[in-house]
Structure 1
């Protein structure tokens, strides 16, 4: 795990300044405190930088940027390639000579020589973001792993292209103009973060999961989606009994999870695990204990001021079961508030998920213990329907959505939809249900928008009576032609985001069941840009590598091929529960799911609520984009008084206003493009 950065200057756009590139690298020192490297082409048209967190092959021979034998291919790489050993063997048999002892990075340069960029990517098992300069093809290749575990950002600055693992490295470039991307802000109000390739910074983009981007020496772009989470990649159990089908799926999940954990243990430093005492983390700890050959270090976080939310006892029980070296940290509201300024700096752009707060404290606990790598359980809920809310959405889809769409004429649906904005705000407890009317009235409307929605369109309309200020992005418009960005995402209508994703899915996998469609949507949007980015940014701020075995693509492919009827026949997460029964205690499997969270609703009714209210309402962002301060204040006041739970939209608003204050500044700026 590391940090990368770099520049490409087309003819006429100047040349790479070594000091500037070094400054970009220094901005992400936390991602790689163990070493730094930099390479510039002879004509200084291309510069690559690397920050090293030594995990695999700790020798100097594994330092980056790394080159092939003749220096015609160079790479700067962040992540882990779990199948680098067999790939290296194949490449050596093909005549390639490796210089490092067992670096996984080196398979990238030789693999590119042998197979080309697409052939290389399809062979990789791992988490990665890399930039590879091909001298012969005069092209810089940027690539992000299938699931989006590792981030990669890019921007055009004064005619040159810049890229980095974090936005703060791009912000180190003095000629990057800082401003708000208006449509990204609109979508963040719903999805807690901006959908890739948008970011909240105008002109700064994130490469979507499973995509690659080629930038020629002349500065031209060519993008391709090289992978997406789809059913149809594994063998079906065929026409067998229900019991045989169940056994096939349970056995397949267990074997693939075991293989994933085994591959993710590869490291020349100790590997620990975050442990909540739930099914996902407990299963990882159990398998690690079997495979690691040493006692596993486990880490848990709790709350000293809201002990009813703690899973400390369950984590302790699992730790005792597998004889781990267990570490615990607790926090309360004062620690939370003291961390908030650092949180905004760490995130670069809002990831408005309050899980980031306990995640920071447990990551710091790991860092202080000397462990550099941890396993995390992200992805299991999306693959195996682990959310109770998903079961509710499936029920609504079966009972109401289908009949409503089939039997009620569109004019009547549209008439009912017109009532959703005022009613959803008057009855926020019914907001998601009322907004269904609005979505059903649209010919391509979608019931499910993802596992976490802060504000539906009707609720946003109550907060922003006129949303025209959110339309368009001069910088983002330039990306539309590449296929990276749908043009309709530049409109202030967040329904178009899930609509476009699921429309594309339905085109390539028509007739898929609703649960598979839901999984595809969350694996494409919420998982990579919210859940995985909160892990990457918060953990890496503590110089900690987080690995995600449940997102091994062999397990993902298998899970995507399990039909809805089989996946939830016994309730939420049923097949995964059966797959790990006998591996972890039955009591852990059968207890109610709590989920990893924080008592933000309570904190916002304490001293932090008044502070957040003042900071939100004083922000120039609200004036600039036409928010009704009266409506925003009423929402916050209703929450503080206990009349409704508006903690999620308040937290989103606090994040975006704090972000604006930290990174943009309160003085309004004229909008303009940096990518034209």
Structure 2
């Protein structure tokens, strides 16, 4: 679309939720609107205020490319939390960008060379952390950044530090916000959060197509559905996913909540076979390899809900901003115990124990324990706990896996001293953006379903950092304030229960119906031909997984998702 003044041209993927508010402001300045879309409002805002100032006003999920005809300059913009992807690179003597890697692969001159360092980081983390990309010469625009490039810089690679500018940073905001904590009572904090989430939910319910919500029966999704129903004159559509023989038990919680709220509820039941049949297709959906098995249920609920709705609201973001994962408080406890012994002593103990174990033992969960024993900081301990493959594992064919210093460099968030808050921030920067938001976006868009998450509203994210930690984590439980707010909408007995995940029997599937698929991907001939992984190590782990599947499941799935992605990429 071209701006009314003719200066700006935009390509836009996503949604600007506050576009009506911005439009009203621009109408007061007599801007000549012709339609009703957020894209037209985006262009109008850029025309009046300029790119940088306009982006500061946008509240939404977006990847935007703006061409300035007058200055002959291209601006790429990604939303604050990274809900929408944006890739770019210098390809074939020019500068290319896209929301999907598939689009860049067909650009003339695209080399397709894999980045060995990025593969190592994937094997560590189970995903390729931003700003790296699986391909050499291609990058992800970091969340909350603007990249500006002119014609003179488009023909060959330029130092990204001179092109990229952050317009918002969760790390910077968090380190300032904790010095200005919320001063009210707990009850006043619940009131304030209720107002913030009501606004965030209402803005995401504006849609000219059919809309509903995913309802798992957990705290986050139940709260969003409750907020939606409270603001709707008619029953909203809610959907729950039941899996296999345990599906009825899982969906019963969601149904009880739906009945209480009065939603138009639908249970979507999938069989184990359907999940199994989906696994080999996942690498064709995602841009880069990812070892999170939850891609499967995410894709299936989007696929089954899509015939009924085109937009779905979810509870994503609650765990990351309100301390929902047990690792946030278990890791500091472990670090406190470790610090009782000096680091040199712990390293001696680890080396002595390693000599007593079989070589394979060092590379399963016992190996992780030994590496944790040698951690030099809380950040490093957390990183090792999140690892799939360890730096000491001889998995790469051409050398050791390089430690990702971005996560272990404590200087990046030195302003946050509380250990739980430090881990919250690390997760918001990496795990939330590169795993949760990536898998939700790719799996939903593959089915043509748009997913919106009120808890990811940046106003809610900012507000959460002003909230004292004891209003997030209290009495041994996370998400305290979300639980308190939800109690205003339904009885506690409907949602107070242990957190549940998608418990698929991956080990059994790899020994049964997925064994042939896995054997083909892990064949020694294929591994030698690819030259990326150590065939001997991979085959030993594959054999160990079949004997003791639980101990090796996480590591094995990480390899299989890489191999499946490579197979799809080369097809």
* TM-score normalised by length of structure 1: 0.77
Q: Does 1:217 align with 2:156?
A: no
Would you say the 8 A contact 1:420–1:437 is kept in 2?
Answer: no
Q: Does 1:522 align with 2:522?
A: no
Distance in 1 (alpha carbons) for counterparts of 2:95 and 2:165: 18
Deviation of 1:499 (Å)? 2.1
The 5 Å alignment of 1:257-276 reads 257-276=197-216
Equivalence for 2:412: 504
Equivalence for 1:254: 194
Equivalence for 2:255: 316
Would you say the 8 A contact 1:126–1:552 is kept in 2?
Answer: yes
| Cα RMSD for the two superposed structures | 2.6
Equivalence for 1:467: 399
Q: Does 1:344 align with 2:286?
A: no
Would you say the 8 A contact 1:262–1:288 is kept in 2?
Answer: yes
Q: Does 1:326 align with 2:261?
A: no
Would you say the 8 A contact 2:441–2:451 is kept in 1?
Answer: yes
Would you say the 8 A contact 1:158–1:175 is kept in 2?
Answer: yes
Distance in 2 (alpha carbons) for counterparts of 1:386 and 1:560: 15
Would you say the 8 A contact 1:376–1:547 is kept in 2?
Answer: yes
Measured against aligned partners, the alpha-carbon deviations of 1:504-550 in whole angstroms (never above 9, x if no partner) come to: 222xxx24311221111111111111111111111101111000111
Q: Does 1:366 align with 2:317?
A: no
Aligned counterpart for 1:557 among listed residues 457, 462, 478:
462
Deviation of 1:187 (Å)? 0.7
Distance in 2 (alpha carbons) for counterparts of 1:499 and 1:72: 45
Deviation of 1:145 (Å)? 0.4
Q: Does 1:70 align with 2:42?
A: no
Report SS of the residue matched to 1:578. helix
Aligned counterpart for 1:386 among listed residues 316, 320, 324:
324
**Cα gap change, 1:144 to 1:612, in 2 (>3 Å):** same
Q: Does 1:196 align with 2:104?
A: no
Distance in 2 (alpha carbons) for counterparts of 1:649 and 1:164: 31
Q: Does 1:435 align with 2:374?
A: no
Equivalence for 1:480: none
| Bigger Cα displacement from structure 2, 108-117 vs 517-526 | 108-117
**Cα gap change, 1:451 to 1:205, in 2 (>3 Å):** farther
Distance in 1 (alpha carbons) for counterparts of 2:351 and 2:7: 61
| Bigger Cα displacement from structure 2, 548-557 vs 606-615 | 606-615
The 5 Å alignment of 1:116-265 reads 116-219=50-153, 222-229=163-170, 230-231=173-174, 232-233=176-177, 236-238=181-183, 245-265=185-205
Report SS of the residue matched to 1:546. strand
Deviation of 1:188 (Å)? 0.6
Equivalence for 1:604: 510
Deviation of 1:655 (Å)? 1.0
The number of aligned residues is 556
Equivalence for 1:538: 443
Distance in 1 (alpha carbons) for counterparts of 2:295 and 2:105: 22
Distance in 2 (alpha carbons) for counterparts of 1:103 and 1:419: 66
Q: Does 1:301 align with 2:241?
A: yes
Equivalence for 1:472: none
Distance in 2 (alpha carbons) for counterparts of 1:328 and 1:627: 42
The 5 Å alignment of 1:595-674 reads 595-596=501-502, 598-618=504-524, 620-621=526-527, 624-625=530-531, 627-642=533-548, 644-664=550-570
Equivalence for 1:32: none
Report SS of the residue matched to 1:328. strand
Report SS of the residue matched to 1:463. coil
**Cα gap change, 1:290 to 1:511, in 2 (>3 Å):** closer
Distance in 2 (alpha carbons) for counterparts of 1:394 and 1:556: 23
* TM-score normalised by length of structure 2: 0.90
Report SS of the residue matched to 1:447. helix
Deviation of 1:398 (Å)? 3.1
Distance in 2 (alpha carbons) for counterparts of 1:391 and 1:398: 11
**Cα gap change, 1:84 to 1:394, in 2 (>3 Å):** same
Aligned counterpart for 1:80 among listed residues 6, 11, 15:
15
**Cα gap change, 1:261 to 1:321, in 2 (>3 Å):** same
Would you say the 8 A contact 1:451–1:526 is kept in 2?
Answer: no
Unpaired runs of at least 5, structure 2? none
Deviation of 1:128 (Å)? 0.8
Equivalence for 1:281: 221
Measured against aligned partners, the alpha-carbon deviations of 1:466-525 in whole angstroms (never above 9, x if no partner) come to: 626xxxxxxxxxxxxxxxxxxxxxxx423413124x43222xxx2431122111111111
Aligned counterpart for 1:375 among listed residues 293, 313, 323:
313
Equivalence for 2:488: 582
The 5 Å alignment of 1:9-48 reads none
**Cα gap change, 1:151 to 1:464, in 2 (>3 Å):** closer
Measured against aligned partners, the alpha-carbon deviations of 1:259-310 in whole angstroms (never above 9, x if no partner) come to: 21111111112211111111111111111111122221112222224559x5
Equivalence for 1:107: 41
Distance in 2 (alpha carbons) for counterparts of 1:658 and 1:596: 21
Would you say the 8 A contact 2:276–2:509 is kept in 1?
Answer: no
Would you say the 8 A contact 2:303–2:447 is kept in 1?
Answer: yes
Q: Does 1:292 align with 2:292?
A: no
**Cα gap change, 1:431 to 1:392, in 2 (>3 Å):** farther
